[in-house]
Amino acid sequence: MKSTHVTHRSLPVLAAMFAIAGCGGSSGSGDAALSGSIEIDGSSTVYLISEAVAEEFSLVHRDVRANVAFSGTGGGFKRFCAGETDISDASRPITDSERTLCAQNGIDFIELKVALDGVAVTVHPQNDFVQCMRVDELKRIWEPGSTIRRWSEVRPEWPAESIKLYGAGTNSGTFDYFTEAVMGESRASRPDYTASEDDNVLVQGVEGDRYALGYFGFAYYQENANRLKVVAVDAGGGCIEPTVETIESGTYAPLSRPLFIYVRTMSLARPEARAFMDFYLEHAGELARQVGYVPLGADEYQAGMSLVQRSASGS
């Protein structure tokens, strides 16, 4: 009897102590009382990392809501520069016009690299005639106004079956990146393909069509590697398949790229957002690898954390 009496009375006191400790702390590690919400939107490629971070973070900080959506890199920036999100996932750097938009709306931000990625070109697993494609072949297939309909029009020894094309939607950073890398001009693409910001839909498509050809983030290929066949890309230096090593070293060209997140400086003033950012950079390496991307070096993440620290303290 006595022990329960003591517990009941001391509970509110203990709770108050925790609350005070939580409110006062700013380093973000080990605080149990963080709450609030963080809005993240943008690239479906970077989504995989942000989603993983948000999920792991929420296991530690139950009361912080990290909402992650994937409207596409372009869509994410539009919302970010309108002040609707705290963090924008991007699979390509911010453009000048987006920078201007943010400046116009008074949104200050920092740019952080979080991982390296490749754009994987894939075909159906039972496709036995494609092992490697040259960049100019990809260009001929995908450029605006392309009239190529069949595999045999690309290389005569390939079957005369129609190519079913699957690719990133126009809001997607992968779209901007692929078109820039292959066509030489961002957003220049033929329009008659199955487009989706959701890379899962593209995986489903390529996996389901015998003569399909698709491009999407390397992580989505990795996740579904047993259901897809990847195509090696020859940029003039031989056929290189996308792997962690070739992406990290940059030999998988021209389709290796860095992945970014853009963080609003104002958001860093909130303790939960600050804690989230620290958590992100701390774990991005391991989570990126888990999800199928290539982590950066530890010093790059450290540099990122210093940048966050400097921005948060109002410089």
Partner 1 sequence: MAAETASFPGAAGLRRRKRTERVIARLLFVFSAVSILTTLGIVAVLLLESARFFADVSPFEFLTGTEWTPLFRPARFGVLPLLMGSVLIAGGAAIVALPLGLAAAIYLSEYAGDRTRAWLKPTLELLAGVPTVVYGYFALSFVTPIIRSILPGTSIFNAASASIVMGIMIIPMVSSLSEDAMRAVPQVLREGAYALGATKFEVAARTIVPAALSGILASFVLAVSRAIGETMIVTIAAGSTPALTLNPFTSVQTMTAYIAQTSFGEAPQGSVEYNTIFAVGLALFALTLAMNVISGMILRRYREAYE
Partner 2 sequence: MTGQPSGVQRRPTGRPTDAVSDVPKDFQPRLRARARAGTVFAGLCFAATLVGVLALAALLADIITDGWHRLTPGFLSGYPSRFADRAGILPALVGSGWVLALTALVAFPLGVGTAIWLEEYAPDNRFTRAVETNIANLAGVPSIVYGILGLALFVRAFALGRSVLAAALTLALLILPVIIIASQEAIKAVPDSIRLGAYALGATRWEAICHSVLPLALPGILTGTILALSRAIGEAAPVILVGALGFLAFVPKGPLDGFTVIPFQIFSWVSRPQVEFQELAAAASIVLLVMLLLMNGTAIWLRNRYSRKY
157: number of Cβ within 10 Å: 8
Q: Please, what is the minimum distance in Å from the beta carbon of residue 120 to partner 2? A: 14
Q: Residue 51: name its binding partner from partner 1, partner 2, none (Cβ under 5 to 8 Å by kind).
A: partner 2
Q: Please, what is the minimum distance in Å from the beta carbon of residue 311 to partner 1? A: 25
Q: Which of 42, 43, 45, 51 binds partner 2 (CB under 8 A)?
A: 51
Q: Please, what is the minimum distance in Å from the beta carbon of residue 67 to partner 2? A: 6
State how far the Cα of 170 lies from the Cα of 42, in Å rounded to an integer. Answer: 13
Q: Which of 22, 25, 58, 258 binds partner 2 (CB under 8 A)?
A: 58
Q: How many residues bind partner 2 (CB under 8 A)?
A: 23
Could you check whether the bond before residue 125 is cis, i.e. omega within 30 degrees of 0?
Answer: no
The helix, strand and coil proportions of the chain, stated in percent and rounded to the nearest 5, come to: 45, 20, 30
Strands 212-217 and 164-168: parallel
234 burial via Cβ count (<10 Å: 0-12, 13-18, 19+): middle
Strands (E), 23-149: 36-42, 64-68, 87-90, 109-123, 132-134
Distances (CA, A) of 198 to 132, 217, 293: 25, 10, 17
State how far the Cα of 196 lies from the Cα of 99, in Å rounded to an integer. Answer: 25
Pick between residue 207 and residue 234 the one whose CB is nearest to partner 2: 207
Helix (H) / strand (E) element for 234: namely: strand 229-234
Q: Which of 34, 46, 54, 183 binds partner 2 (CB under 8 A)?
A: 54
Say if residues 294 and 117 touch (Cβ distance below 8 Å). yes
Q: Please, what is the minimum distance in Å from the beta carbon of residue 35 to partner 2? A: 10
Does the footprint of partner 2 cover residue 277 (CB under 8 A)?
A: no
Start-to-end CA distance of the chain, whole Å, equals 57
Q: Please, what is the minimum distance in Å from the beta carbon of residue 273 to partner 2? A: 15
Does the footprint of partner 2 cover residue 198 (CB under 8 A)?
A: yes
Pick between residue 171 and residue 224 the one whose CB is nearest to partner 2: 224
Does the footprint of partner 2 cover residue 200 (CB under 8 A)?
A: yes
Does the footprint of partner 2 cover residue 71 (CB under 8 A)?
A: no
Q: Which of 224, 246, 267, 311 binds partner 2 (CB under 8 A)?
A: 224
Q: Please, what is the minimum distance in Å from the beta carbon of residue 148 to partner 2? A: 26
Does the footprint of partner 2 cover residue 37 (CB under 8 A)?
A: yes
Selection from 295, 74, 294 nearest residue 174 by Cα: 74
Q: Which of 204, 251, 265, 309 binds partner 2 (CB under 8 A)?
A: 204
Pick between residue 204 and residue 251 the one whose CB is nearest to partner 1: 204
Q: What is the DSSP string of 84-115?
A: --SEEEESSPPPHHHHHHHHHTT--EEEEEEE
- Segment interacting with partner 2 (CB under 8 A) among 17-25, 63-71, 254-262, 292-300: 63-71
Could you list the residues that contact partner 1 (CB under 8 A)?
Answer: 41, 69-72, 75, 78-79, 82, 144, 164, 169-171, 187-189, 191-198, 201, 204-205, 207-210
Q: Is 75 helix (H, G, I), strand (E, B) or coil?
A: helix
Instruction: Give the footprint of partner 2 on this chain (CB under 8 A).
Output: 37, 48, 51-52, 54-55, 58, 65-70, 198, 200-201, 203-204, 207, 223-224, 227, 291
